[in-house]
Amino acid sequence: MTERAFKSSKPAPQGKPGANRRSVQGNGEDVKPGDRIIVTIKRIGINGEGVGYYKRKAVFIDGALPDEVIKAQVTKVEANYINAKLTEIEKKSPDRQKPPCPVYDECGGCQLQHMTYPAQLGAKEELVREAFRRYAKLEDVPLRPILGMDDPWGYRNKAQLQAGLHNDQMITGLYSAGSHRLIDISGCPIQHPVINEVTAQVKDILTRLHIKPYQERTRKGTVRTVVTRVSKQTGSVQLTLITATRSLPEKERLIQTIRRELPIVTTIAQNINHADTPLVFGNETIVLWGGERLDEQLGELRFSLSPRAFFQLNPEQTVKLYNAAKEAAGLSGRELVVDTYCGTGTIGLWLAPLAKEVRGIEIIPEAVEDARRNAQLSGAANASFFVGRAETLLPEWVKRGIRPDVVVVDPPRTGCDRALLSAIAAAKPARLVYVSCNPSTLAKDCQVLLQSGYRLEWLQPVDMFPQTAHVECCALLVKK
């Protein structure tokens, strides 16, 4: 995520007298880094930046809001767009507010805290609308009002915070965008309050026991990352320390101290990640004390989560998204549902009580094991899960006469594999439920499906991550 910075900057060094003036008055081709321009912001971009136009080029300005008139300094010029840094707000939006988070400008984890929540929801609706205009060539988008939160704070049920040192003090946080500077995000306002409390106390315990954070530059220290997850169902916390070494100094004292001072923690685990990699988790996890899994519930579904298991970060909004998927599936109890990209099976299991049969496909074996376990926990005897690629398994099933009535896709941000879209078109399900975390790839894939004989019935955006630029969407496509 890009850093959201909108502090005033110093004027750029001047060249020859009038040089900047000439470039600003030119036809757009001679705009160059360092030039100062005035831009009226039209909308919010996919990364939360303000988007305006200058000399027929799109201009992206972090921290700017729609309808604001902005003075900015050009930082980058490409053939089709300009990046610029906000230096002054000439006309301020009534939707601008002071961000509640004290490190908002530095952290980069959120992008829209400087925007009132109703305005955030409106901007996200426009993101979806604009994506379908641009990529699916649809001017009249069947867009439903976005589903927001009554309280858009404290919703994240899991934190993965890097450990480091600042002035010889242990901190946990996120790296500032484009840098290796760790920002302490203690008390983060979008994390569940219990997450903040446990992380702060664990940090204090590690400091008292002289267990050092791992330093990449010197390759000394132990703890890379502190991972905490809270169960909405039970209120219990699963704590995982990701270490660069197998040995964990003062391990027994650490376990005893956490148990004594943090009785809310029901699992203490260690994950070992030796590698110099951006991946958070390594391949080996050891439960040092407590239960191997964290019990959780989503609606009527029950889950048992290992430290590495995926689970939605905002359960309240997940229910709204999955209910939209349930409505889109339009099940009567007679249908075969195929859930591609099924992950740990959450959407398929959500639909299972209303379907004749659910089949999930996922390429990651561990996720399929979790899906099968979750099906057992929830009593979904009509749900089965398979390891493989959907674009391979789906055509094989169709050849054997196993033809789906409903297909569900919930792909990564890059969207569906083109081979899968072709396989879906060949399978000809009556209804296609597309759950997306990226409006642009959703629109691109929908254009392919529209050309394959489907009609877009409606789009339901859901604000899964308030204060950020992300927006989830459920689309219903029906066979013509």
Q: Are 424 and 449 in contact (CB under 8 A)?
A: yes
Residue 126, phi-psi category: left (phi > 0), alpha (psi -120 to 50), beta (remainder): alpha
Distance CA 152, CA 377 (A): 31
Domain membership of residue 307 (yes or no) is: no
Residues 459 and 346 in one domain: yes
94 is written with which tokens? 């009534």
Average pLDDT, the chain: 92
Is the same domain home to 291 and 318?
no
* Domain at 33, CATH number: 2.40.50.140
Residue 153 lies in a domain: no
Q: What is the pLDDT of residues 251-273, one digit of tens each?
A: 999 999 999 999 999 999 999 99
Q: Give pLDDT, residue 348.
A: 97
* 168 band by pLDDT with thresholds 50, 70 and 90: confident
Helix (H, G, I), strand (E, B) or coil at 1: coil
129 lies in some domain = no
**Which H or E run contains 445?**
helix 439-451
The band of 360, judged by pLDDT with boundaries at 50, 70 and 90, is very high
Domain of residue 264: give its range: 158-298
Same domain as 179, residue 34: no
The tokens 């030039």 sit on which residue?
A: 35
Do both 337 and 451 map to the same domain? yes
Q: 409, 433 in Cβ contact below 8 A?
A: yes
**Domain final residue, candidates 244, 264, 298:** 298
437 classed as catalytic? yes
pLDDT at position 45 over 60: yes
- Number of helices (H) and strands (E), helices first, in the chain? 11, 21
Summarised one tens digit per residue, pLDDT across range 85-121 is 999 999 999 999 999 999 999 998 999 999 999 999 9
SS3 379: coil
* Nearest residue to 359 (alpha-carbon basis) of 395, 398, 407: 407
79 and 168 part of one domain:
no
Q: Do residues 326 and 255 both lie within one domain?
A: no
63 in the same domain as 37: yes
7 falls within a domain:
no
CATH number of the structural domain spanning residue 470: 3.40.50.150
Does residue 286 sit in the same domain as residue 321? no
Residues in the chain, total: 480
Count Cβ atoms within 10 A of the Cβ of residue 34 and give its class: 0-12 exposed, 13-18 middle, 19 or more buried. Answer: middle
Of 298, 323, 338, the position where a domain reaches its end is 298
pLDDT reading at 5 higher than 70: no
Residue 295 has pLDDT above 70, yes or no: yes
Q: Please, where are the H alpha helices in 209-339?
A: 251-261, 315-329
* Identified catalytic residue from 107, 437, 473, 474: 437
Per the domain annotation, does 125 fall within a domain? no
Q: Are residues 330 and 246 in the same domain?
A: no
DSSP annotation of 376: H
Note whether 47 and 144 are same-domain residues: no
Q: What are phi and psi of 98, to 5 degrees?
A: -80, 125
Number of domains forming the structure of the chain:
3
> Is 114 part of any domain?
no
Quick one: tokens of 89? 């707000």
Give yes or no: residues 444 and 321 share one domain.
yes
Co-location of 38 and 83 in the same domain: yes
